[in-house]
């Protein structure tokens, strides 16, 4: 029994790290993805070409490779070192370790590339007439985007976004390859001690979390059901 509680405590700690990685990745990759999508749609050819190449590389190579590259390369090339938190608050400093920050950077950039393509598809699916209606009413480009276009885009991209976001929570497990102590990392520790069931328990954590996300996405879809776009 003690053993059982002990395992759950360790796993919960790992799960918190996974969820933190998940939230911070979303927080960074959503706006970054929007910026990249604007770059790929830019009329300035060098910018759109460059950003298309970046998206190609980010979507065309394994995320695990990108995690390694982002964690090790800066040091190897003497560019910079990932910062080490030093607040004196132990939980904080160990959770947001150098490794965590590197993994976060890799995830944020990788997911921004995927999100940018979803945003681009959504934005381009809005009819030209919506922009022109805003223009003849004397609205500025940013007013048109934020007050007219954005919510219609959000409504259209909820299904593909929910897919990506559900994939993200499971992809956070890749951080264990650079020894970020997330959920799979903790479960693996027990496996090495000969305990198999914590791996399945870890699976249950993901399942529950994805269940919650699914409910939230359904709610969001319902909420935007009041209009057709």
Where on the chain is the footprint of another protein (CB under 8 A)? 127, 129-130, 132-141, 143, 147-148, 151-152, 155, 226-229
Longest dimension (CA), the chain: 70
What element of type H or E holds 37?
A: helix 2-41
CA 118 to chain centre: 13
We find the least distance from the C-beta atom of residue 125 to another protein, in angstroms, to be 13
Helices of type H across 42-127: 45-60, 63-76, 90-95, 98-124
Query: Is the Cβ–Cβ distance between 177 and 5 less than 8 Å?
Result: no
Q: Looking at beta carbons only, is 124 or 163 nearer to another protein?
A: 124
Q: Looking at beta carbons only, is 107 or 119 nearer to another protein?
A: 119
Q: Looking at beta carbons only, is 120 or 156 nearer to another protein?
A: 156
Q: How far apart, in Å, are the Cα atoms of 35 and each of 39, 66, 77, 192?
A: 6, 20, 28, 43
We find the least distance from the C-beta atom of residue 17 to another protein, in angstroms, to be 38
We find the least distance from the C-beta atom of residue 43 to another protein, in angstroms, to be 14
Q: Looking at beta carbons only, is 124 or 214 nearer to another protein?
A: 124
We find the least distance from the C-beta atom of residue 225 to another protein, in angstroms, to be 10
């Amino acid at each position: 029994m003690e053993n059982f509680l002990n395992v759950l405590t360790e796993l919960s700690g790992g799960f918190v790290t996974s969820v933190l990685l998940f939230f911070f990745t979303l927080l960074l990759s959503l706006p970054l993805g929007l910026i990249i999508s604007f770059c790929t749609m830019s009329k300035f050819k060098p910018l759109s070409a460059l950003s298309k190449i970046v998206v190609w590389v980010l979507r065309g190579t394994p995320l695990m490779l990108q995690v390694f590259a982002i964690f090790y390369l800066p040091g190897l090339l003497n560019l910079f070192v990932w910062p080490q938190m030093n607040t004196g608050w132990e939980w904080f400093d160990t959770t947001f370790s150098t490794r965590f920050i590197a993994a976060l950077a890799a995830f944020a950039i990788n997911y921004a590339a995927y999100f940018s393509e979803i945003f681009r598809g959504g934005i381009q699916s809005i009819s030209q007439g919506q922009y022109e209606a805003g223009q003849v009413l004397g609205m500025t480009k940013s007013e048109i985007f934020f007050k007219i276009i954005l919510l219609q885009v959000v409504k259209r991209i909820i299904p593909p976004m929910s897919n990506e976001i559900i994939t993200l929570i499971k992809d956070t497990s890749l951080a264990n390859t650079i020894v970020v102590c997330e959920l799979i990392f903790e479960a693996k520790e027990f496996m090495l001690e000969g305990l198999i069931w914590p791996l399945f328990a870890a699976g249950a954590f993901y399942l529950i979390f994805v269940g919650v996300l699914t409910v939230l996405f359904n709610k969001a879809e319902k909420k935007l059901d009041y209009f057709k776009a």
